[in-house]
Structure 1
Amino acid sequence: MSILLYFVIDALDECDDDRNIQVILSLFAEARSLERVQLRIFMTSRPEIPIRYGVQELPDVEHQDFILHNIAQEIVDDDISKFLEQHLKIIRRECQLAVDWPGAHDIRRLVQSANGLFIWAATACRFIRRGKLFAADQLSIILKDDYVTDYSTDETSTTDSAITPEKQLDKIYITVLKYSAPKYRKSVRKKWYKVLKETIGSIILLFSPLSANSLVKLPHATKQGIYQTLDSLHALLDIPEDQNRPLRLHHPSFRDFLLDQRRCNDPNLWVDEKRAHQTLADNCIRLMSNSLKQDICRVDAPGVLVTGTESSRVEECLPPEVQYACIYWSQHVKKSGTKLCDNDQVHQFLKAHLLHWLEALSWMRKVSEGIYAINYLEPKCSSKPTMLRIENYPTILLFRLAIVPVYTHLSMI
């Protein structure tokens, strides 16, 4: 008798590495050879190239494809209507609103505005819910569907142009961001937007999610300012009550929106990707410069093995934000497009902390990341790399920086 197993994989396209996507799809393809186990797999994804190619490799009889925008609009609208009814019912109960709120007419208007996008409906519900006592007012803001915002005057005007699903999504993102801004006077409001851009710019461009407690130690902004900014973004970000758990986007479309100047045409909100990566690189280097040191895990025993050291000690001495900085700072430098030169920030950091950085990576069992980083950084230097003399360090013997790959003897791994 065979066993029937069900797998549900949501948003396969959000997998960090295309190679992992290929591995997942190939493993599922091989599952047909199993004799005692039958698999049923439900998978959702945007139609990215690696996923399309991977699915095409499967025999047609073994998979069925459903393209959302090819499904009849009335079916999608009916599903969105049910979604809205259920979530608004919960909001009505939580906020003690009238039993007939919001009414069938308003739900139909919301369905029309969603234009087939569940992420629009979900974002709208989160925005309304965050209004709490003023949830009904939040709904009224969303239902003002006859305006576009003029950011130079902060006023509204009407438009007769057709609104596509993407524009509807952009519109609700702008609405949520606009109404999340406190009612500061103009000079203070400008400072708030700066903190907002740096905060959300960091979150959407992180290569690995960080918690709120880790994030506040990374940017060059006040801890209180970042926490207050995050508190206004629950409709757009998954912000756990436990501030040690990672922050995540509710949907990758928010990242796409913020990075596209054509879609996010408010200069207070648009995130310049290269500049934001440069800011993250600067912040990572600053954090490492202030944190890394010789024998950072205080073992006081050259040659000790990582496997012989408790992981809790490593986590205590190398908290998540420092580990993130050590692993990803060079990738942020790469994405920023910055050209390296003598005595710049990267050069100064490597002169002072190269061995400290490599030691930290060895404690994290990520020395390969250091090799990849050096391989990338070397050709980006505007001058010929300087050969380093052989240096003996408690845990690392580094022979030459300019050799590719870097040959190291790491006694800790």
Structure 2
Amino acid sequence: MSNSNSYLCNSRDFHVENLTVINAGSSGNSHAFSYLHDNIAIDAAHNSEERCDAPKCHPETRTAVQEDIFSWITHGDEDAQPMKILWLTGPAGTGKTAIAGSVADTCDEQGLLAGSFFFASFTGSEKRRSKRYLVATLAYHLVMQLGNDHSLRQAILAAVERDPAIFRRRLKDQIRVILVKPFQDTRTRFDTSALPNVFIIDGLDEVEAANSRQAGKDPHEARLENERDQEEILSALLYAANDSNFPFRIIITSRPEPIIRGFFSADAVDLTREIFLDEKYNPDADIRLFLNSKFAEVRRRYRLPLSWPLAEDIQRIVITASGQFVYAATIIRFLQNTKHPRGPQGLLQTVLDWEAKDAASSALAPLDALYTRILLSSPDPPLAVQWVWAINDIGLDEAPTSFVNQLLQEFEGQGAYLLENLSSLVWMPPAGDESSPYKIYHKSFIDLLEFRAGKELRGDYNGGNEVFLQGCLRVFRGNLPPASTLTASSLNIFMRHFLNGPWQRFSSDIASELGQDDLHRWDVGWWVHLLVRAFTSPRRESAVVMLFGTIHKLCVAASRIPGDCLPSCKHWRSNIIRICKEYGWNVPNTIALLREAMWHTAMLHKFNDEYTLPFWAMVGGGQGPSGAQESFTRYTVDEDYQASLDVVSAMFSRLPSDWQSRYHEEVDGPMDGYMDAKVSRSYTALSSFIKTIAVEIGVEVEDVDVAVWQSMNMRVTFPQFPGGLT
């Protein structure tokens, strides 16, 4: 056999150290390449045919965030703390995939893209939602950019040739054998700076485990399996990034799902830069630019006037989008692809007019399907929707998350249990942050629940009122949050928020829901002392006035004869007056109580929160009792208070038969529509009659000076959340 082709022919007395031999024979190379190709997801590439209509950033939009990403790709090594991973995240519909697609296109054009994988759970292709094809696809994209004789290409294919079962192994082993080790073995043989340097992986949260869609599969178990696959992908990528010689940067996009955020906040925190798509990147301006451009196309196509659409209509869309490009794009797609007798103008009006909810639902069906799918990922979707109502509709979106949880939870951790899977719709503060509120990202999500959703889902949403009221009732029945063990200081903080928010706005509803037995057995002293400790003047007195007035609502609603109050009302009011006297406060006298009865009677027995009583006048700068003076004893109805009610009843019975018409003549006066003006005039209405009656029956108390009433009425208000609590 001829040795003419042997480089070692006739050689002797030598040895070779650290030799790596790669068989680059054409048959082995071809076989390995074919096997690699058989294990990729062709449609997952950024430029695949399946993604030809995938969203991309409209020209001149999202420039700031794209510039941030390109700067990191090209100059990230110059940062004070270089990071190999970039996590692009944000709420649902904010354009993460569009940005990733645009960045991938530009990187491909500039020779920077090593490979890409765009996961998608909505597609019919199982490969695009499976972890199994990720490493092979990235490796395939990389070798396709390397010449046939490139040593890294040869090393990757040789690794596949040596272990044909590699793509059935763990992802960490795949990435070690197929990408990390081949580069380690060959990096001295070529200019590493000439390699493309970034892998882009989009939609990580859409990864699904094998058989996760199997009929009868428990949704919670399926989600846990999906999360395990997502975490395995992250761990494998982190393994590669941790290798100091690994030359590639990795971009990962996903919604801020708890399992993914937890990974980047802990395991990968030292290697990851996060970009969160929020107001910092001014999405409203980009959405407006996108809409103006697309509406111009519609105008040209249908020869519509330049005046369409109105600027305010575009602004309405921008506001409702709440930073969601998907919302704006969905509307434009609806206008372009749907026939309608009234043309694009009629379609746009349909979208803007939520009363035409059936047509609007058709327009936004893709977006609503996205929202619904996310909602159903909660372990208890109906209750999660009710929490969303409570957060959005009653002002709890400005209250600390800790307070909302303490108020609504039936057991510790229920809030996180219900809402953590909805993190792309509802922002939850990180662990340890007890002062920040929940944030609902998208107005269009609330519009779905209020207008476009089916009857069952809308019913769940409106049922949030019951969840809220039950939380309030549990607080009253237990004198503390139902599912919490709080220290005294924490309880004071909770009660400040409770009295400054839900109680202030819904005290009448809460009182109406309470039974007489509940009201009668509560410790009034505990509540009044709590009010005094929780607030300083003037909010302290304001809270007492509100409590005193609200407890009387049931008597007014029942059209009770003035002075003939319900037992629960007598119990509360007599004890409030007794405790306030202990504080040295002024309390309503008989004439003040009579005027209150006249007001509510003249208002046709409609309780009115505008009307206030003078606990105020002699409070001055009093600091309330010392701790030694506080009493938590349950008292029965005070005899003096019952006597006062008897006098009120007697005085009321002596009012002239036409007193209500005379009362309205004085109270209504000019500016009838202004309730505060009516209330102010009610403090002096029929003064001569009241004075005469008082003399007749021997009542020796003075009417309250009108200036005191007016001053007190102007101050007896609370700020809304998150108003400073003092």
* TM-score, normalised with respect to structure 1: 0.49
Structure number with bigger Rg: 2
